[in-house]
Amino acid sequence: MLEIRDLIVNYGSIAAIQNLSVKVEQGSIVTLVGANGAGKSTTLRAISGLIKPQSGSILFNGENIAGLPPHRIVALGLAHAPEGRMIFANLTVMENLLMGAYLRRDRASFPKELEYIFAIFPRLKEREKQVAGTLSGGEQQMLAIGRALMSKPKLLMLDEPSLGIAPILVKTIFEKIAEVNRQLGISILLVEQNANLALEVSSYGYVLETGCVILEDTSAALRENERVREAYLGGG
């Protein structure tokens, strides 16, 4: 479904991504694990067209989308819930959700999709007329995911969904991520600082250091890998 080949992304003279190659198979959850500055968020931003790579290819269902503008990439079926959520703070919950469907023309199906989003995130239903900027961090993350789902994606990219969320809600968010993957068959590319959670919910993982993949394997194998355990999972 998604295949990144030899991707290079620079910020000025600084190499952020170096010859990165990553695959996401249809229906899978794949995670990128690494410390701050490893290039995880930059990878997602390059895939979604927010930054332009220097070289390499990003194949989405066989089409090279590297360098396409973001709205074209969203229209192809790729959605990005960014780090920090980036909701529209002055709009209501419902208005934010409808913004996620901005490029769609099949408005007749909106009620059914809203019903599904409200079923997995009941708090959003309770607060659908509330201004989004007044929501808690966890509720805003639910909204960011819901907004991305309203674009009807084939692949959903999630950047640090546990960031700034109360621990009691983090488990709920990750349960819902797995539920969306299982029930809707949406492929997910996950960036998450909490490596334990990321490897628990995903089927395959890549470990990044300074913009390079240094290790890749099934998530189960990575959880048992001594190097990964010591660096990212809190002990050997």
Per-residue pLDDT of 117-170, as tens digits, reads 999 999 999 999 999 999 999 999 999 999 999 999 999 999 999 988 888 889
Query: Which residue in the block uniquely carries the two structure tokens 């989405």?
Result: 60
Separation of alpha carbons 193 and 191, rounded Å: 7
Separation of alpha carbons 31 and 87, rounded Å: 23
- Mean pLDDT across the stretch 8-28? 95
Q: pTM value?
A: 0.93
Whether residue 234 has pLDDT greater than 80: no
Per-residue pLDDT of 105-114, as tens digits, reads 898 989 999 9
Please report, for the chain, how many H helices and E strands are present, in that order: 10, 10
Q: What φ, ψ does residue 122 adopt, rounded to 5°?
A: -60, -30
Whether residue 236 has pLDDT greater than 60: no
Instruction: Spell out the domains of the chain, with CATH numbers in brackets.
Output: 2-87+154-232 (3.40.50.300)
Nearest by Cα to 30 from 229, 217, 233: 217
Whether residue 235 has pLDDT greater than 70: no
